[in-house]
Amino acid sequence: MVFSYTNKYLKTTIHILVWVVLIALPYIVNSNLGGGPPRMLSHNEENKFTFLNLVSYSFWIGIFYINSSLLIPKLFYQKKYTAYSLIIILLYGVVVGAHLLVFKLMINFMPFNIPRSVWVVLPAFVLTLAASTTYTMIADRINVEKRNLEKDKETMKTELAFLRSQISPHFIFNVLNNIVALVRLKSDELEPTIMKLSGLMQYMLYETDEEKVTIKTEVEYLLSYIDLQMQRFGSKVDIETTTKLYNEYQEIEPMLLIPFVENAFKHGIGLVENPSITVKLTTDASQLKFSVINKYNAASEETKDGSSGIGIVNVSRRLELLYGKDHELKIVQQNNWFMVNLLIKLN
């Protein structure tokens, strides 16, 4: 269980428990103030001894929180070291004076010697100050790191939302191109194709609002898109698709794979001799492997507009944000072949 420093109730409870243990510890291990009494104490004497201990501990608890809550944030962190040092010296004087006063009041009633030197409280004072400073700096560091982490998460969510908003119109643009092509061909497949396109757009509009979808759902979407493209281009394109899922209910980010396939159809058909596209997806217990290979015409790519390939750019950024070191994306352009190899470690 991870304890959060933002939980004030839990923090207060932990502090109380720690102080209770520290106060009770001398009694648990049978240790006594200043070397302790040389003989067994009566019940009345034990009460006086306990009172003396509680008074002493109250000083250290006060010093701990004065330093932690006031002096370090207001002076030490503000680099007011002189003022900080002077107040620490003043506090030490107050603690010494208070101890001497208590000792003087109690000395006639205790059956053992009580230390009277001003230096006797110095080790406890230094230890309390060191513990308070260490605790405060560690706690503040944890809080700063937590705030930075929350800030980074919010930034990532904002950027992912922006990237998704770009993917949607990009996909719609490609869908409209498919419809236009089928209308021009006056194909009998127009109506079922439009129904299938409707299903794809429904997935895009609703499923993509989820942080994760099953691989089965994503693959069905991917294969439907490829099927539509095969209806459009027919035998003009050699399309090979292979899927092998270890567990179809493993989850990934929605619309994470389709941009690579869209890119293959956009750039692998047209001024390409014998266009060929190969899509392969396999998963095992711990990772997903996805590859897309297509021919392309390097000469024709030079005339493409600046928006070309926006899907690849966006999905690359999404992969970086979502999976970080848990993914590997390799894109190679060689001898008029465009090759994408993606590996994702699955939870």
Phi, psi of 36 (to 5 degrees): 80, 170
Q: What percent of the chain has a predicted confidence (pLDDT) above 90? A: 20
Using one digit for the tens of pLDDT, what is the confidence trace for 98-157? Answer: 877 776 666 555 444 445 555 667 888 888 899 889 989 998 898 888 887 876 776 666
Tokens of 239: 């399309």
Task: Compute the average pLDDT of residues 270-277.
Answer: 82
Any idea what the Cα angle at residue 231 is, between residues 330 and 189, rounded to 5°? 150
- Tell me the average pLDDT of the chain: 77
Tell whether the model's pLDDT for residue 2 goes beyond 50. no
CB-based contact 135:68 (threshold 8 Å): yes
Give the global pTM. 0.55
Distance CA 265, CA 177 (A): 12
Every domain of the chain and the residues it spans: 8-147, 149-345
Tell whether the model's pLDDT for residue 293 goes beyond 70. yes
Q: Tell me how far apart the 2 most distant CA atoms of the chain are, in Å.
A: 112
Distance CA 48, CA 56 (A): 12
Which residue type occupies 173?
F
Which one is the CATH code of 149-345: 3.30.565.10, 1.50.40.10, 3.10.20.30, 3.30.450.20?
Answer: 3.30.565.10
Report the half-sphere exposure of 155 (CA within 13 A, side-chain side): 7
Instruction: Provide DSSP, 3-41.
Output: PPTT-HHHHHHHHHHHHHHHHHHHHHTT--GGG--SSPP
